[in-house]
Structures are given as structure tokens and as C-alpha cells.
Amino acid sequence: MKKSFTAISVLAMMTLAFSGTVRAADAASYAYVDVASVFDKYQKTIDNDKTLQESGKKKELDRDALVSEIRQLKDELVLLKDDAKAKKQENLDAKIRELQEFDQAAKEQLGKVRRDAIQGIFQDIDGVVQGLGKKKGVSLIFNERALLYHDAKLDITSEVLTELNANYAAQQKGAKKA
């Protein structure tokens, strides 16, 4: 009898604790953000993409100049006699190595710049999401991609994007004055 009373007591306490948790969860507010959309439409992302494309085009022009030198050396090599070919072949091999090293360095440099930019952008997004969550009193904010179902009225994507772009515009304006 005493064991059944203890078991009933424990069961009753667990039920009360669980119902309190459910009530607390019901009182919580939720929101979600389409992070991919925010990332793509964020002006800083757009500006960084343009900068990377310009850097990539410059690297491509530099690479094209090296390729042109290699082609010229190959053309000259064909016209030379056997005894002069060895020296030209050394120059050609050196230029080919230079091209390979250039390709590797350019790839690494542009990759690092891109990774750093993406990391900064996600930090910006996270900061705004955190701030909006606190300001709006939201208990949980989810990434839209992780949800199977969501009510559109819980979507704060446009608010996040608006605040991000406003913060970025203010930063740019301050940077131009300095």
C-alpha cells in the first residue's frame, strides 16, 4: 500500500511538473526567419559578391597575361634549333609553374576573402535576430528551412532584412564620412 501511494505521489508530481512545462511553452512566443532569403537579399552580401567578381575578373586578366606569355614561348620554341630549345624549354617550364602557383594562390585568396565575408554576414544576421528576439519578447526563433509547417504570421524575415540593411547603410554612410 505504501509503495502504491509513493508511486501515485510521484506520478501526480510528474503530471503537475509536465503541465507546468506545457503551460510555460504555450505562453512562449515563436517566430521564424528565412535565413537564406535574408542572406541573398542583404545589401552587404550583394556588395561583397560584386567585389569578389571584380577581384576574380582582375585575377583572370592577370592569368590571361601569363597564358599569353606561355603560348608565345611555345611558339618561339617550335622555331628554334635543338641547341637553343633547351634554354627556351626551361623558361617555358618556369612560366607553367608560375601559372600553376598563381592559380593556386588566387583560388586560396579569393576563397579566404569569401569565407571571411560570409562569416561576417552571418554574424550580422545573428546579431539582428538576437536583438529582434529580445525586443519582441520572442522565446524561440527558428530557421524557416528546419520547419515542416509554419504560420506566415510568425515570419519575421522582412523585419530582419530591413534592420540589417538599415544598419549596413548607416555603417557605409559613416565609413564614407571618415
Specify the residue for cell string 579566404. Answer: 112
Overall pTM surpassing 0.75 (yes/no): no
pLDDT of residue 37: 96
pLDDT of residue 88: 83
8-state DSSP, 56 = H
pLDDT of residue 82: 76
Three-state secondary structure call for residue 177: helix
pLDDT of residue 89: 87
**pLDDT mean values, one per 10 residues, the chain (178 residues):** 42 43 54 96 96 94 93 85 81 92 95 96 96 93 91 94 95 83
pLDDT of residue 17: 45
Q: 137: phi > 0 → left, psi -120 to 50 → alpha, else beta; which?
A: left
- φ and ψ at residue 29, rounded to 5 degrees: -110, 150
Q: CA-to-CA distance for 84 and 23, rounded, in angstroms?
A: 89
For each of the domains in the chain, give its residue range(s) and CATH number, in order of start.
2-177 (3.30.910.20)
Residues 6+ apart with CB under 8 A from 62: 102, 106
* Residue 156: count of CB within 10 angstroms of its CB: 21
